Amino acid sequence: MTQLALVIDLNVCVGCHACVTSCKQWNTSGWAGPMADYNPYDADPTGTFFNRVQTFEVGTFPTTETVHFPKSCLHCEEPPCVPVCPTGASYKRPQDGIVLVDYDKCIGCKYCSWACPYGARELDDQQRVMKKCTLCIDRITDLSLPERERKPACVLACPTSARLFGDVHDPDSEVSVAIRERGGYQLMPEWGTKPANHYLPRQKTRIHIAPDELVRADNPLRREDLTTYTGEETIDDLAW
């Protein structure tokens, strides 16, 4: 069983929105029709996006840190949005686990968006059907592209390589190794939706130095000798 997914490294995401714009560019230009944009250069712009980057500030000043949080469909292994669909337009592909919407069957009842706790689905006001991240299905399966380009647009666009793409069911894949070794976690695990996408937590590199390590006996930078000598034999008296 293959389960394709994204692993997003919050440690290196700088919140540049390159994944957002590349996603929009790729998916608005494809065969599935444009993603609506209203008032793009005016007040209150709105439109359909498959991927958005949010920003959170954690902690209180001055001990705060900024977390940029890219957010798209998590391609749950137990997708709650699929069984509620009355037309069968929402489905999970058995061969690679991608959750998709058939835009030709969708009646735009929005019920699936109610059944997604993550708010990953957006109704397109122009096409009047529900849309969501497809993991660039038309790109990753396109054999006419060179293999290194058969990745979602957001993954290719990320300048810090904060987005990894692969099969989370293959224990040796890049994404599985990252999840396993770098503490990858799922969003809202309390619902049991088993999101396939994982997030890698913020990590800080710290070195710990105990005071006695700074003045240890063989430290060549030692300035002072705290030992009190009373004429006994010391290591300096050894004949070499």
Footprint of another protein on this chain (CB under 8 A)?
15, 20, 39, 43-49, 52-60, 66-67, 69, 71, 80, 83-89, 105-111, 113-119, 121-123, 125, 127-130, 185-191, 199, 201-202
Q: How far is the CB of 188 from another protein (least distance, A)?
A: 5
What phi, psi does 123 have (nearest 5°)?
Answer: -80, 130
Question: Where in the chain does DSSP place strands (E)?
Answer: 4-9, 37-38, 46-47, 51-58, 65-72, 90-92, 99-101, 122-123, 130-131, 163-167, 198-200
Of 94, 48, 97, the C-alpha closest to 74 is 97
Instruction: Name residue 101's amino acid.
Output: V
- Closer to another protein by CB, 30 or 47: give it: 47
Q: Which is nearer to another protein, 191 or 194 (CB)?
A: 191
Q: Which residues pair with 122 in a beta bridge?
A: 131
Q: How far is the CB of 158 from another protein (least distance, A)?
A: 16
User: Hunting for tokens 């976690």 — which residue is that?
Assistant: 185
Nearest distance, CB of residue 202 and another protein, angstroms: 8
CB of 167 to another protein, least distance (A): 22
Phi, psi of 52 (to 5 degrees): -135, 150
CB of 156 to another protein, least distance (A): 20
Half-sphere exposure of 22 (CA within 13 A, CB side): 17
CB of 135 to another protein, least distance (A): 19
Report in angstroms the alpha-carbon separations of 88 from 108, 148, 219: 12, 33, 72
User: Which CB sits closer to another protein, 4 or 187?
Assistant: 187
Cα–Cα distance, 14 to 163 (Å, whole number) = 12
Residue with Cβ nearer another protein (112 or 137): 112
Residue whose CB is less far from another protein, 51 or 140: 51
CB of residue 199 vs another protein: minimum separation in angstroms? 6
DSSP 33: -
Question: Which residue's CB is nearer to another protein, number 96 or number 122?
Answer: 122
What is 209-240 written as a DSSP string? --HHHHT-TT-TT-----PPP-S---GGGS--
State which residue, 111 or 169, has the beta carbon closest to another protein.
111
